[in-house]
Amino acid sequence: MDLSNNPMYQALRARYEAKKLQALANMQVFMKAPVGVADHPNVLDTIAEFAEELAHAEDILYSLENNFE
């Protein structure tokens, strides 16, 4: 079922593309300059949380593509 032109589908896809980009950007900041990020005593746990957010967004995008495109 191809819903790739459906505005609701496009909005949903855009939401998870943004979440993916946000997680990637946050991971890059923490990996390049962890000393410059305040209030994060355990940087590795914080990066792991962003990695989980990235994986979640990618999983949803994969599912959307396989079921609606």
Residue 35 has pLDDT above 70, yes or no: no
Whole-model pTM: value is: 0.85
Q: Exposed, middle or buried: residue 25 (CB in 10 Å: 0-12, 13-18, 19+)?
A: exposed
19 domain residue, yes or no: no
**Structure tokens that stand for 58 in this block:** 């990618």
How many angstroms separate the CA atoms of 66 and 69, rounded? 6
| Residue 64: inside a domain | yes
Which residues constitute the domain of residue 54? 36-69
Is position 10 within any domain? Answer: no
Percent of the chain with pLDDT over 70: 88
Per DSSP, helices labelled H in the chain are: 7-32, 43-68
What single-letter amino acid sits at 4? S
In a domain, 15, yes or no: no
**Residue 41 forms part of a structural domain:** yes
What pLDDT is recorded for position 38?
62
Q: 2-23 pLDDT, tens per residue?
A: 898 999 999 999 999 999 999 9
* Number of domains present in the structure of the chain: 1
